[in-house]
Amino acid sequence: MRRSNPTQMDRYRNIFLFILISVIGFSCKEAQEPDCKINILWNNEKQTIDGFGVAQAGWSDKLYAHFKREEVLQKMFGNEGLRLSILRGEVFPHYWENPQDKDFDLDADIDLPLTDSFFTGESDDLKRRGQLWIARYVKEKCKTDKLFFSVWSAPAYMKSNGKVSQGELNPAYNQAYADYLAAFYQAYKSVGLEPYAISPSNEPGYAAPWNSSLWTPEKMGEFIMEYLGPTFRKEEIPARIVFGENPFWSAVSQQAAFVSSRHFTDAIISQYPGITQYPVIAAGHGYTLPDSYPAPKDSLSTPIEPFGEAEKADIPVWLTEISNTEALDTTIRDGIEWAITFHKYLSIANASACIWWAGALPAGNNEGLIVLDPDRQNYLTTKRFYTFGNFSRYIPVGSKRIGTEISSAATDSLFFSAYKNGKDFTVVAINPTATGKRAGLQIDGQVLSGKLNCFLTDEKNNWSSSETKGNQIEIPANSVVTVTGTIK
């Protein structure tokens, strides 16, 4: 039998059924139970976020000499890049090489053409000019608000061994060294590069073969309390004084305690509780113990934990250096591992700032976020660069970290942290598993206003943006997703 042609009414009915089925299907998809539920505890405030940054200390010359140096700096500090707010540099020991030398070389020509043979050499002068040029660029072009400088060694003539490597500060030069740091501040301020913070010693517990100087907690505490703090106060210098900065965040053995930042800063605060009269910041580095170190074989990663005495004294804590020297890995696997590490320093150690070592350098390992090619023409961005950006781009300076509660067994496989800034909020979600997850988002006692904005980094995406109208977010396999939104 031949089927008759459908009538106009049949066509309308078919179209209606198609639309109805589509709507029902969409509603069911939205109504799916999420793999976990994230409850943001809006009033459970933690530390204030001071910012994210990188160091160019020690590598200022290589970036300064690169033909695409402005492009690289925009990738790190620009609005289209990481939006970093902290640059870490060095108070070089070769500024003053004798007691009569009072020059910080701020009059040097830093705008030489990159074709000049000056850029192909190796010299302290290249490092000094490079740091000055980089600091000026990020301050003027990127509006970076925090210039932070650490000392690896005092000038050699102030040291017990007369060298910039190892040894310690000669006590006879305590006041001269405090004056040196004050003079550095005033010099940089005079050219529009006012330091936000100064650290009198990088890794004071480690006698490194490069620029270094040993300090005990007792000597460091005395120096800050009796010399540096009073000198800064007398000269009305508002710069924060950073102390700690040892290689290991905490310690897994008694032997490691001397190079543990937590033990170092705890000892200083306990012995010198009056240190809070000065604008101090307790700091540490996030390196792991070498295999040769006399520590438990299964505990070579130093614990990521709060600085107890600093928190009790209401002193902010910064992670001022972290990286590793393993063979270069630019994959999402490496990026996610570092994202989890940043998450732990922010959520477990309550760090107010995270600073990577180093921003850009020519190396075949994982020290840099950006790898500069020795040809001075090309460079490579890593996935850790992008997962770092999932934090630095979307967590405004001045935000408060706030508590989170996660339901279901997903707490063992997913990582979440939350931050608020006025009525705006940011959530960073990390999924290191091979299976995509769906998370339901709610804010304790608050109502969402408008859409959620999601920014995805995975193997194929770098901060790819999307919107969602509901309160459920997709976290694909092996990815980091940052969510931003607003409450009513």
DSSP 8-state symbol, 168: B
Say what the pLDDT of residue 297 is. 58
Distance CA 258, CA 205 (A): 6
The continuous run of DSSP H or E covering 261 comes out as helix 261-271
**Residue with more model confidence, 4 or 450:** 450
Q: Minimal CA–CA distance to 478: which of 426, 424, 415, 418? A: 415
What pLDDT, on a 0 to 100 scale, did the predictor assign at position 4? 43
Rounded to an integer, what distance in angstroms lies between the CA atom of residue 421 and that of residue 400? 7
Q: 9 CB contacts (<8 Å, ≥6 apart)?
A: none
Looking at per-residue confidence, does 8 or 93 come out higher?
93
State the pLDDT at residue 70: 98
Average pLDDT score over the chain: 92
Q: What is the pLDDT of residue 470?
A: 85
**Domain chopping of the chain, boundaries:** 34-45+402-487, 51-394
Give residue 167's region: left, alpha or beta (phi > 0; psi -120 to 50): left
Residue 5: what pLDDT?
Answer: 47
CA atoms within 13 A on the CB side of 69: 24
pLDDT in tens, 150-193: 999 999 999 999 999 999 999 999 999 999 999 999 999 999 99
How far CA 216 is from CA of 44, 155, 172, 266, in Å, comes to 37, 19, 16, 12
Length of the chain: 488
- The reply to whether 51-394 shares the fold of 34-45+402-487 is no
Of 330, 195, 215, whose CA–CA distance to 261 is shortest? 215
pLDDT at 291: 74
Q: pLDDT by residue (tens digit) across 338-395?
A: 999 999 999 999 999 999 999 999 999 999 999 999 999 999 999 999 999 999 999 9
Tell me, what DSSP letter sits at residue 352?
S
Q: What is the pLDDT of residue 252?
A: 81
* Per-residue pLDDT, 257: 85
Q: pLDDT tens across 224-244, in order?
A: 999 999 999 999 999 999 999
pLDDT at 394: 98
- Residue 22's pLDDT is 42
Q: Which CATH entry fits the domain spanning 34-45+402-487: 3.40.50.300, 3.40.50.720, 2.60.40.1180, 3.20.20.450?
A: 2.60.40.1180
pTM for the predicted model, two decimal places: 0.92
Taking residue 196's Cβ as centre, other Cβ atoms within 10 Å add up to 20
Cα(474)–Cα(136) distance, rounded to whole angstroms? 41
**Helix, coil or strand: residue 391:** helix
CA atoms within 13 A on the CB side of 488: 7
Tokens representing 336 are: 């996610």
Domain 51-394: which CATH class? alpha beta
Six-digit token pair at 440? 């339901």
What is residue 19's predicted lDDT score, i.e. its pLDDT?
Answer: 39
CA distance 234 to 278: 12
Residue 104 identity: F
Average pLDDT over residues 283-307: 81
pLDDT at 330: 97
Residue 425 host element (H or E)? strand 424-431
Q: How many Å apart are CA 262 and CA 486, to the nearest integer? A: 36
Query: Percent of the chain scored above 90 by pLDDT?
Result: 84
| Spatial separation of the C-alpha atoms in residues 201 and 215, rounded to whole Å | 8
- Please give the Cα distance from 411 to 483 (Å, whole number): 18
Cα atoms found within 13 Å of the Cα of residue 376, Cβ hemisphere only = 14
Q: Give the torsion through C-alpha atoms of 269, 163, 368, 120, to 10 deg.
A: 150
Mean pLDDT of 98-110: 94
Higher pLDDT, 3 or 337: 337
**What confidence tens digit (pLDDT) does each residue in 18-39 have?**
433 343 333 323 447 888 899 9
Residue 6 scores a pLDDT above 60: no
- Residue 411: pLDDT band by 50, 70, 90 thresholds? low
> Distance between CA atoms of 430 and 104, rounded to whole angstroms?
45
Q: Is residue 3 pLDDT above 50, yes or no?
A: no
pLDDT category, 254, cuts 50, 70, 90?
confident
Count Cβ neighbours within 10 Å for each residue of 430-463 and write b for 16 or more, e otherwise: bbbbeeebebbbebeebebeeebbbbbbbeebbb
